[in-house]
Amino acid sequence: MKTRQEAIPRTPIDVLSLAKQIASSRGWKVGRQTEMEVEVTTGISMRSMGETVRVAAVAHPTIPGSSLVTVTSSARLQVYDFGKSESDVDVMMAGLLQGPRYLSTAPTVRPAGSTVGARKFCANCGASMTMKVRFCPSCGQPAD
């Protein structure tokens, strides 16, 4: 399990809305939602049987218009994690810190192992790469 907490200069409502957009852009499924939390699940990959990522946001006690955001990721089936929880937390927090501009640079998600023309897509993060690449240029995982 991995947890990270940051102050983000957005209201809690804006943070949770952005978290849902980030999840959708990565191909993650948005699940349970409350006024203070969004829960998303990642897909199964070679590194994980799927993760549950929770984003909780509350109004920052000392910075007006900001939120205190906690992102937590844990394996849905605790067998082996291989660091996937850490990368899921980092991806979500990076997106929340960058804001809407993250969505314009996020990799296009494709079905794992799919190919289009002379390109293939990373089974871990969905990034596009040439067929000759051995490691994903986005997340560093083996491309095959």
pTM of the predicted structure, to 2 decimals? 0.65
Half-sphere exposure of 107 (CA within 13 A, CB side): 21
Task: Say what percent of the chain tops pLDDT 90.
Answer: 28
pLDDT-wise least confident of 2-16, 86-100, 120-134: 120-134
Which sequence spans correspond to the domains of the chain? 2-106, 108-144
Check residues 22 and 107 and name the one with the higher pLDDT.
Answer: 22
Model confidence pLDDT, tens digit, residues 74-102: 876 655 545 555 677 888 888 888 887 76
CATH of 2-106 given 3.10.290.20, 3.30.530.50, 1.10.1040.10, 3.40.50.10800: 3.30.530.50
Give the whole-angstrom CA distance, residue 55 versus residue 28: 13
